Amino acid sequence: MSKRAADRPQGVYSPVLTPFNADLSPSVPRFVAHCRALLEQGAGLAIFGTNSEANSLSVAEKRQLLDALLDAGQPAARMMPGTGACALPDAVALTRHAVSAGCGGVLMLPPFYYKGVSDEGLFRAYAHVIEQVADERLRIYLYHIPPVSGVPISLGLIERLLGAFPGIIAGIKDSSGDWDNTAAMLRDFQPRGFDVFAGTETVLLETMRAGGAGCITATGNVNAAPIVALYRSWHEAGAEQRQRALNETRAIFQSYPMIPAMKATLAQRQGDPVWATVRPPLVELGAAQAAQLAQRLAVPAA
C-alpha cells in the first residue's frame, strides 16, 4: 500500500509551454494566463520541463517566470518546477528558489551533457544539490528521460538515493517509454512512498491500476480536462474507452514536432499567432501543417 501523503503532488501535471514574444523573450502575461487555465482544468504545473523549452531558458528567466506566477497568486503547492541543470550551481540556485517559494516539489534532470557517466557520478550530483539546498522541505522528483537526455536513472541509483535521502527523494517522472521499467519502479519503490508518475497519458490507466501517482504529460497543455477526467475516474466503468480517446489525441500530436504542434494549437484556439513562436533551434510549424493539424483535431475557430 502506498505511503503517499495527501498533501504530496499527485494527479495530472503539465510541463507548461513557455510562450515567447516576437523578440524571443518570454511572454509573462501569456505564461501566467496559460498556467491559470491549466489549474482551472485540474492540472498541476510542471513548469520548466522538456516541453517548456526549459533548456533554452536562462536561470534568470526561470526565476522571473516562477515569481510571476507567485505574484499572480497561483498556488505554489501545485507547482513542480524543473530545476535540473548541467551546471550544479544552476541546479542548486533554482532548487533553492523553488523550495523557498513553497513549491510542492522539484522535477530534476540529471546533469545531461556528459554521456556514459556512472551511477556514482549521478549520485554525487544529486547529493551535492541536496546538501547545498539543506532544507527539510525539499522534495525531489527524479526525471528519467533517456531518449532525450541520454543519461538514464537506473533502478540501482534510485535505491541508493532512497536509502541516503529518505523523504527528500520523493518520486520520479518516467519518460523512458519502457513500461517494464515503469512497472519495476511501481513494484519496487512506490510502496516505500516513492511516487511514480508516468511520462505520458497513454499509460495513465495502467499506472493508476499499479498504484502510481498520476502522469506528467506534454499534451496536458492542450488536452488537460480529459486527461484529468481519466485520472479521477480510472477505477470506474468506461475507463478503457477514455484511455483510447486520449491515445488518439496524443497520436495526432506525436505525428508532428510536439512542441511546435502544441503551440500552433494554442495559437489557433486563442486567435493569438504569437503563441506559435518557439526558440531556436526549434522551428514553428508551417502554415499548411498547422492548418492540417487544426483540421485533424477539429479545433473550433477562436
Burial (0-12, 13-18, 19+ Cβ within 10 Å), 231: buried
For 112-145, how does the pLDDT look when each residue is reduced to its tens digit (9 = 90+)? Answer: 999 999 999 999 999 999 999 999 999 999 999 9
Binding residues for pyruvate: 216
Q: Can you give the pLDDT at residue 129?
A: 98
Q: Would you state the pLDDT for residue 6?
A: 58
Residue 124, domain member (yes or no): yes
- Does 2 map to a domain? no
Phi, psi of 234 (to 5 degrees): -60, -25
pTM of the complete model: 0.95
Domain count, the chain: 1
The reported pLDDT for the residue numbered 300 is 44
Q: Is residue 252 a part of any domain in this protein? A: no
Largest Cα–Cα separation, the chain: 53
pLDDT of res. 137: 96
Q: What is the pLDDT of residue 298?
A: 80
Is residue 207, in this structure, part of any structural domain at all?
Answer: yes
What confidence score (pLDDT) does residue 3 get?
Answer: 44
Structural domain of 140: 11-237
Distance CA 48, CA 236 (A): 33
Cβ atoms of residues 197 and 172 within 8 Å? yes
Query: Catalytic residue positions?
Result: 143, 173
- At residue 5, the pLDDT reads 59
Identify whether 246 is part of a domain: no
**Domain CATH number, residue 213:** 3.20.20.70
Residue 17 counted as domain residue: yes
Binding-site residue ranges? 216
pLDDT-flagged residues of the chain (< 50): 1-3, 299-302
